[in-house]
Amino acid sequence: MNQKTNTNAINIKNNYKYNLYETSKQHFKEVIANMDFVICACNELENTLAETPLKLSAEDEEILSLKLFKEVSLNHKLHVETRLKQIQTKIYELCPHQFVFDLIDLTPDTSKCIKYCELCELTVDAVNK
């Protein structure tokens, strides 16, 4: 890490607003993961109800179904994902970028040069070093 990168890293650690966005980013990711778990559970219950050999009454189907809850969860997940994108944009705006070049493998025979920030991990295509 060169002197400029070290100084930028120190500045970023002392930037309360940046840290708040970074912390929020992690919490939003946790919420999305939890919502994915809930949506998966709803799907599993839907499959179980669809495969049951019993003829359920409309009342039983309504009591046992999580369809409405799943729809609400999907809408909330989309909202949280939108907010997460906004948070990531703010992180990129607040970061005193320190870009480096790297070569990534696309296939065993082809590679691509990318440029990314060591601090916030913003990645951009790079034609040449």
Confidence of residue 7 (pLDDT cuts 50, 70, 90): low
CB count in 10 Å sphere of residue 25: 16
Q: What is the pTM of this model?
A: 0.72
Instruction: Return the domain boundaries, the chain.
Output: 3-96, 97-129
* Rounded Cα gap, residues 6 and 117, in angstroms: 13
Mean pLDDT value of segment 6-21: 75
54: left (phi over 0), alpha (psi -120 to 50) or beta: beta
Position 87 pLDDT exceeds 90: yes
**pLDDT value at residue 6:** 61
pLDDT in tens, 100-124: 999 888 899 998 899 999 889 999 8
Q: Which of 105, 97, 101 is nearest to 114 (CA)?
A: 101
pLDDT at 16: 86
Residue 87 CB coordination number (10 Å): 20
**pLDDT digit string (tens) for 31-70?**
999 999 999 999 999 999 999 999 999 999 899 999 999 9
Q: Are 61 and 49 in contact (CB under 8 A)?
A: yes
| Beta carbons within 10 angstroms of residue 119's beta carbon | 19
Which residues of the chain form beta strands (DSSP E)?
99-105, 111-117, 123-125
pLDDT of residue 28: 97
